[in-house]
Structure 1
């Protein structure tokens, strides 16, 4: 008989509904694993008492994931639970409100067992927070889990929770999903509420699921999706649920593909190209038309994105008197962002929206877009981080992630799928994107791919 952690989140939810296992049993199982097996830097804070109390009534929510354990990224406000934003400057910060993501998880009966590790303010594409262990991929614990949702991905990949919430402003769900051999979904812009902070005026960032299967990701998106009063904009509601979309076999689709990086002069590892080529052949074998296209965003879009990214970092100010605790990269980006005037920032947002519009027009004839997720398999811990030269650090991040931010700029939904492993056993993700608001079609295609080449029963060492 399979162990509980061998089951998908949906399978665990079904056991709870049939009363074959209780939410408390699941919570205890995962708390014990997290306490004993977190050698991957997954958790910043465990909340056993809170989780066990929530488990007592979680099944009453009645949905597909009611009673299932999960975890919340340490960027998300959680009332009464230490939330540090990955920063020593907020080491003792305990919010008195929860954000919309946490409220949605609780309303659906998911039970968080703790807060997952993230780098400072979620900025870097690696998770190496100050004074804490780095988040590493369980496929090779000397290599990074990616970022900024590195702790969430490490937790799911190591079997410490069945599904977890992440967030993504430039690839921060899809990067760790690729590094950890998981499904990582960035939903469409406006699909998930930013309540109550609405801290991203540019529209790059969104929450989203990290899971072992496409259907688990779809079920969690059903939980997280939806607007709240006060939202400035929202994606149109889907036809049915996102989980139901996974059962709809897509008709013949036109899939655009490109492999050239959006960022100039970036070397791409052969494994990333091989994964992309194999995925192209798989899509053709499933009856879809795969068409080569040019890179839809011009190179001029990159510095515009950087300007917006720097300003967003500058908005994440440390408490007065604690600025010295910020990491060199954060201080460098903050100084860069503060040097941008209000009109310059407005012009950058306008330029980015025009670049996005051009890309959306160019890709409008296609149902989906295929690229690699990353330029290389997961790198050794410390390979990118450079406190002595933050500019070099930032440049290395761009070289590692030369495709992911394109879909944050356009607002398109995008998913990284674990379709390839290197000869030495490292996961390599492949990324699919779809038109804005067509999250259901993207999930239907991803589920079709998973059915053809299933991966969920492939486990890392130490599982």
Structure 2
């Protein structure tokens, strides 16, 4: 008989609906998994067993079963605030901070019937594409604990891949859902800007950051996305003041049906090519080739494409990345000394920027957004490698030299940040494995508001490759 954590999130939800399992029983199962596995993997920075059990009891008695996530456990990324639970933002600067109120995304997931088990590991202020901070153990890849899990939603990815959660929300400002999903063999979806009402991205610098799901299957990712998007008693406020095109779900139907034939572009160029030497590992190209072959076998149109040269993107994105760190609330030498070297370098560089430099960078990225959408517009979706390299070892990134660190991040993951700048949706799919049994994925970039097509394509590929059957050694 399958263990509960071997079931998909959708299967667990169905078992909850039928009464085969209870919210409390499911929470106890996952809390036991966390106690057993997390000390060696670093998925969580805070686990809240008492609050989780109390919440499960409340869900069972007081939340309608029609709520889309009824009784399903998840973890809050440690960049979000839940009232009464320590929120460290991956930083010594916030050691001991306990918020009195919750972020709107937290309230939305609660209204959807979910049960939080704690805070998942994230790098300092989510600024890096790896999850190795000074306040917690590194997030270790369940496929090989000597390797990193990616970031900044690294803890969430570890928890899902290792069977400590059925799925988890993450946030993505330059690839922070898709990078750890690819590294840990998961499905990771970055929604369109404006898709998730409690995290539209419009209030973020350059509109980069949006929340989205990490899951083992396409249907599970769609299930969690529906919990983030569909109205079900969450705070109303601006819930429908801003929408991405293409409808507001439910998206689960698209993932379950997996229907349609599409015209796909295939691309190995990136927005960083004019600024850095981007070398694609053989494993990354093999994963892309496998996905292309499978999609062609399914009858989809396939056409090679490439981006137009553009040397304006790299300096503009660097400027915005640095500017985003300028508002970190560290004043004076003592507080600055509590920051990690990379964060301190970013913050100082960001504070040195002029208003003119930031304004020009934002204008440049707005032009790039329109250009990228135009270039990809003849395709229903565009296929790229998810990562340029295989998952990186723990300690691989330079912790002291900000310039070198930035270059390392670009060379590892050159295909993700341009999607955030353009506000487009994208999904990472775990199509392949290396000879060492490490996951290798591909990315599908959709049209504005094109989540349904991405989920349908992902479901079709999943039915051929059955990545839901793969298990890392720790499971």
Q: Indicate whether the TM-score tops 0.5.
A: yes
Q: Determine the C-alpha separation between the residues in 2 that align with 1:162 and 1:226.
A: 20
Q: Determine the C-alpha separation between the residues in 2 that align with 1:236 and 1:49.
A: 41
Shift of 1:388: 2.6
Q: Determine the C-alpha separation between the residues in 2 that align with 1:359 and 1:405.
A: 12
2:253 matches 1:244: yes
Q: Secondary structure at the match of 1:419?
A: strand
Q: Which moved more, 1:43-52 or 1:224-233?
A: 224-233
Distance 1:297 1:434, change over 3 A: farther
The residue that corresponds to 1:368 in the other structure is: 381
2:421 matches 1:421: no
Shift of 1:236: 3.8
The residue that corresponds to 1:152 in the other structure is: 156
Among 68, 78, 82, the alignment partner of 1:78 is 82
Q: Mind listing any 5+ residue stretches in structure 2 that lack a counterpart?
A: none
Q: Determine the C-alpha separation between the residues in 2 that align with 1:369 and 1:37.
A: 37
The residue that corresponds to 2:13 in the other structure is: 13
Q: Deviations over 1:250-308 (max 9, x none)?
A: 43211111113432311111000111111111111111111111125723211111111
User: Does the aligned pair in 1 maintain the 2:174–2:417 contact within 8 Å?
Assistant: yes
Among 291, 309, 320, the alignment partner of 1:279 is 291
The residue that corresponds to 2:262 in the other structure is: 253
Q: Determine the C-alpha separation between the residues in 1 that align with 2:405 and 2:211.
A: 25
User: Does the aligned pair in 2 maintain the 1:255–1:288 contact within 8 Å?
Assistant: yes
Q: Determine the C-alpha separation between the residues in 2 that align with 1:199 and 1:315.
A: 14
What TM-score does the superposition give when structure 1 sets the normalisation length? 0.96
The residue that corresponds to 1:412 in the other structure is: 424
Question: Equivalences for 1:73-152 in 2 at 5 Å?
Answer: 73-152=77-156
Q: Deviations over 1:24-56 (max 9, x none)?
A: 011011111101111211000001111001101
Distance 1:240 1:198, change over 3 A: closer
Q: Deviations over 1:127-152 (max 9, x none)?
A: 00104210011000000000000000
CA RMSD of the aligned region, Å? 1.8
Among 237, 244, 256, the alignment partner of 1:229 is 237
2:365 matches 1:359: no
2:280 matches 1:268: yes
Among 216, 219, 222, the alignment partner of 2:223 is 219
The residue that corresponds to 1:441 in the other structure is: 453
Among 311, 319, 342, the alignment partner of 1:299 is 311
The residue that corresponds to 1:50 in the other structure is: 51
Shift of 1:198: 7.0
Q: Which moved more, 1:388-397 or 1:121-130?
A: 388-397
The residue that corresponds to 1:340 in the other structure is: 353
Q: Secondary structure at the match of 1:432?
A: strand
Q: Deviations over 1:176-196 (max 9, x none)?
A: 001100001100001113569
Shift of 1:343: 2.4
Q: Deviations over 1:98-117 (max 9, x none)?
A: 11211111001110101000
User: Does the aligned pair in 1 maintain the 2:199–2:210 contact within 8 Å?
Assistant: no
Q: Which moved more, 1:297-306 or 1:314-323?
A: 314-323
The residue that corresponds to 2:206 in the other structure is: 202
2:408 matches 1:396: yes
Q: Determine the C-alpha separation between the residues in 1 that align with 2:247 and 2:295.
A: 24
Q: Determine the C-alpha separation between the residues in 1 that align with 2:383 and 2:435.
A: 23
Q: Determine the C-alpha separation between the residues in 2 that align with 1:251 and 1:41.
A: 40
What TM-score does the superposition give when structure 2 sets the normalisation length? 0.94
Q: Determine the C-alpha separation between the residues in 1 that align with 2:446 and 2:362.
A: 23
Shift of 1:84: 0.6
Alignment size in residue pairs: 462
User: Does the aligned pair in 2 maintain the 1:187–1:439 contact within 8 Å?
Assistant: yes
Q: Determine the C-alpha separation between the residues in 2 that align with 1:443 and 1:58.
A: 29
Q: Mind listing any 5+ residue stretches in structure 1 that lack a counterpart?
A: none
User: Does the aligned pair in 2 maintain the 1:238–1:440 contact within 8 Å?
Assistant: no
Shift of 1:237: 6.1
Q: Determine the C-alpha separation between the residues in 2 that align with 1:246 and 1:239.
A: 14
Q: Deviations over 1:426-448 (max 9, x none)?
A: 11111001001111111111111
Q: Determine the C-alpha separation between the residues in 1 that align with 2:308 and 2:346.
A: 27
Distance 1:230 1:323, change over 3 A: farther
User: Does the aligned pair in 1 maintain the 2:182–2:429 contact within 8 Å?
Assistant: yes
Q: Secondary structure at the match of 1:172?
A: coil
The residue that corresponds to 1:27 in the other structure is: 27
2:181 matches 1:172: no
Q: Secondary structure at the match of 2:429?
A: strand
User: Does the aligned pair in 1 maintain the 2:206–2:362 contact within 8 Å?
Assistant: yes
Q: Determine the C-alpha separation between the residues in 1 that align with 2:76 and 2:82.
A: 8
Q: Which moved more, 1:249-258 or 1:55-64?
A: 55-64
Q: Secondary structure at the match of 1:58?
A: helix
Q: Determine the C-alpha separation between the residues in 2 that align with 1:145 and 1:65.
A: 26
Shift of 1:323: 2.1
